[in-house]
Amino acid sequence: DAKTTQPNSMESNEEEPVHLPCNHSTISGTDYIHWYRQLPSQGPEYVIHGLTSNVNNRMASLAIAEDRKSSTLILHRATLRDAAVYYCILRDERYGGATNKLIFGTGTLLAVQP
């Protein structure tokens, strides 16, 4: 499985944008980039995913480098409820995703200051 590298921790101020980086230099052509987050004492929740193009949804935006070796999760206005561990995961979708597993790394602990 291709690996991802994320900073252990980051800090942000409330109401400001947050850019969470992820490096994945060994990404293959069929790997999708997935982001999940885990709030304290909860199970992970899906945030966003993409292949090549930038993606937006109600929670966040995903910016993918042209060579796909890195990506950035963007929270446009951080709130205190966004304090969580954010995981960047690569998932091979060659077989429609049916046989491929989600392998979590250690993620980035985001602290949001009021």
Counting contacts by CB under 8 A, is residue 21 touching other proteins?
A: no
What lies within 8 Å, CB to CB, of 110 at 6+ separation is 9, 10, 11, 12, 18, 20, 78, 82, 83, 84, 85, 86
Counting contacts by CB under 8 A, is residue 102 touching other proteins?
A: yes
CB of 3 to other proteins, least distance (A): 13
Nearest residue (CB) to other proteins, 12 versus 86 = 86
- From the list 102, 75, 101, 87, the residue with the least C-alpha distance to 4 is 87
At position 107, the amino acid (one-letter code) is G
Among 36, 62, 70, 78, binds other proteins (CB under 8 A): 36
Of 7-15, 16-24, 74-82, 98-106, the segment contacting other proteins by CB under 8 A is: 98-106
